[in-house]
Structure 1
């Protein structure tokens, strides 16, 4: 994202030395005694003039206003299909496993959803740079066409390879192109309240996760699979049209695509959108791996949780209800942790706490009591709340260790790592499920918990790379 700052170079240089982009003027500390008196005081390794930082921040981030709130609403509407569909893919997997692909092994079916999530995350290498250089409208239009077109093609699929091409590749790629601009535009307007408003926008994903399974559950029975997806594509198109008109960047790109040859555009949007140098930056690569393992665990679990409920003897309707419960509590789980992170605890600390909570809930509730319907409902509610921040806070964590003008490239680089992690781990989850016996699912639950533990260790490493082992708001 091009910088439009008119401040002197030396002042901008001071700002660039700050490790986190979320440090606010009233929490920059220059006294160690002050830091000791408040264990959750925001801290950084560098000291700069608070007045200088305040002057820059107040000019760069409006922190509100009509345009800012309309942008958040546009992002919210766009994320209903973009994140909501990701939260609801279990409703697709459950149906095709019982109908079109009933004779296909779980491992083979898992490749459909593994490729979907791979292309969803890998497309970030294109969409992040596209957003930085072209603004929000173009990637939103392209992503909307591909996603809705892919869903329409999926409606006619009957074999594994037809699902791979239509759902896994086309729908996944289109879905992924939408994410960077929908999340990135919010960061243009907020700094002190970035986690709060990013979380508010991403509650659209939970709203989508509530209504999509309910819509599919009803339409599967009334009109069948094909027309259910066609109607869903129409609903998605309406939501995405609102996003195209409202979700606009504040900092206009300085570069123009006019009279630019294909070779140059390819370098800008593909080659230059991934920066390998970030992989040698401990705080970034640890954060990226933390995101990769937590989202891989969440996606893998979301795919197989409905079939786990069916294997336990419950109906398909109950399985869809569990997805709805998870996404309902996920609304609070996206907003409340974001507010707490901004106000008191810090973004990385909240991520560590909530990811650990997901692991604990799986080990203490689902693993021993998964055969009881009450326990499943309780688990779905708790897990949905705790996992809400797994999807809402990673962009904010990435922004906290990035300069604003580099956010798109670093965000896309982070999700390239995530895409390959998911591509490897989702099929492994399918292999562990195997024949689908209860003991196989129990091993699968332990596998997802192990991924969460690795994620926590990575987030902690990223945090300590910036602030050391101090207890502080970060």
Structure 2
């Protein structure tokens, strides 16, 4: 559990003279002003910037750091690329294996997938904090690849739910936290840029997976298309496991009984104390709602294009365009965040941009294929920062050694919301009439606007209304 260290005011009369050979860290600790500054703690709502030596002493580069970023990039190609490409699977099975099944029922497959993925990420985050990357990476690689292989043989809704929703979702969730969290061990000032470079793997995966399936479906069929995808994902994940390595570990005494094991690795992984922080609650809701909007759009946008009368090939290409622009959308906003605006200000702008684009372009002009391509480009740019900057928002209000657990706890909130929001989206779409899809479009835009409002709330609780980088 997250330790809460009580802040203590320092009286100047109680300080002894600092030895001339004191380390820089000690000198910085004693150099705090005496008007309520802390030696070992922080005010709960104070931004976690450079005031603490722990948050200042990061490598900010070097061979080990850049190799870790590259390894994270390779792992995120399948781990985040597949969730970005689920529309290519949903569009196919809803018109083939599950053509006689309602959209609401099909939506539960992907709802359970996202729930399982984000729910499991909280446990992998805690395991990562205490053991490093290898254990969660190995478990995630095996289950992710096997889940895809089993999905290839599924023919009914319950088989897809078990193979893709649960097994593949478990593997995906196990990979999420270590692949993102390990980058934060090496960067602080340039954390947004480093994580955005790593999460480019999500865009690469989101670009390549739909194109790969688009070619393989007619060539070798659904079964071998997913088997080939499984082998490719396994290759990238094995390479990633060999390259990523943590820099920090929490110290924990060995477990002597099953009760102690369960307390540490099952009950102890949930950082419930974080929910006592208002800014953490707001940030968690903002990230969760933004992820929900991103997921429902990724799932149903290709089906919308097919419903409009465009080919499945065009539908897959629209997903590819979103993920292509997501590369620019990950890097440019992250660079702006590091240099000028900060992660929360940047997320507010990009989420509002997503909502405006959805309501002003997709909703009124969705009957035109050219406009759908334009929307894909704009939405891909604005939504690209959702995955890359959200971890930085969490890191901004978290201590480094607690990042994995707090980041995972935020995605636990996202998992429960996805269990609700995705089936609601399927119910809104219903029989697939265009006017029902229009209601879905408004629903997706509202999720983005509410997410932006929660980020505004986090900003207000932490720094107020003053104009600053945050």
Q: TM-score, normalised by structure 1?
A: 0.90
Partner of residue 309, structure 1 = 305
* CA positional deviation for 1:326: 0.3
Contact map agreement 2:55 2:400 (CA 8 A) in 1: no
Q: Does 1:23 align with 2:49?
A: yes
Q: Describe the SS at the equivalent of 2:199.
A: helix
Contact map agreement 1:20 1:399 (CA 8 A) in 2: no
Partner of residue 298, structure 1 = 294
Distance 1:307 1:277 in 2: 41
Q: How many residues align?
A: 443
Taking the TM superposition and a 5 Å limit, the aligned residue runs for 1:27-42 are none
* CA positional deviation for 1:11: 3.2
Q: Does 1:194 align with 2:212?
A: no
Contact map agreement 1:432 1:441 (CA 8 A) in 2: yes
Structure 1: any 5+ residue segments left out of the alignment? 25-47
Q: 1:264 aligns with which of 253, 260, 266?
A: 260
Deviations 1:2-48 (A, max 9, x none): 99x99569939546416566624xxxxxxxxxxxxxxxxxxxxxxx5
Deviations 1:170-219 (A, max 9, x none): 10011011010000000000000000000110010000000000111111
* CA positional deviation for 1:277: 2.2
Partner of residue 10, structure 2 = none
Q: Evaluate the alpha carbon distance shift between residue 376 and residue 15 of structure 1 in structure 2; reply closer, same or farther with a 3 A threshold.
A: farther
Partner of residue 27, structure 1 = none
Q: Does 1:234 align with 2:231?
A: yes
Distance 2:429 2:353 in 1: 23
Partner of residue 393, structure 1 = 389
* CA positional deviation for 1:345: 0.7
Distance 1:310 1:16 in 2: 56
* CA positional deviation for 1:396: 0.7
Q: TM-score, normalised by structure 2?
A: 0.91
* CA positional deviation for 1:255: 3.0
Q: Does 1:250 align with 2:247?
A: yes
Q: Does 1:11 align with 2:29?
A: yes
* CA positional deviation for 1:270: 1.8
Q: Describe the SS at the equivalent of 1:393.
A: helix
Partner of residue 419, structure 1 = 415
Q: 2:321 aligns with which of 311, 325, 329?
A: 325
Q: Evaluate the alpha carbon distance shift between residue 9 and residue 136 of structure 1 in structure 2; reply closer, same or farther with a 3 A threshold.
A: farther
Q: 1:463 aligns with which of 459, 464, 467?
A: 459
Partner of residue 345, structure 2 = 349
Distance 1:434 1:369 in 2: 21
Q: Does 1:164 align with 2:161?
A: yes
Deviations 1:211-251 (A, max 9, x none): 00011111111111111111101100110011101111011
Distance 1:238 1:21 in 2: 40
Partner of residue 13, structure 2 = none
Contact map agreement 2:114 2:419 (CA 8 A) in 1: yes
Structure 2: any 5+ residue segments left out of the alignment? 4-22, 31-37
* CA positional deviation for 1:83: 0.4
Q: Evaluate the alpha carbon distance shift between residue 141 and residue 2 of structure 1 in structure 2; reply closer, same or farther with a 3 A threshold.
A: farther
Deviations 1:405-433 (A, max 9, x none): 21122112111111001101000000000
Contact map agreement 2:49 2:55 (CA 8 A) in 1: no
Q: Does 1:181 align with 2:178?
A: yes
Distance 2:411 2:469 in 1: 25
Distance 1:261 1:244 in 2: 29
Contact map agreement 1:2 1:251 (CA 8 A) in 2: no
Q: Evaluate the alpha carbon distance shift between residue 20 and residue 64 of structure 1 in structure 2; reply closer, same or farther with a 3 A threshold.
A: farther
Contact map agreement 1:88 1:213 (CA 8 A) in 2: yes
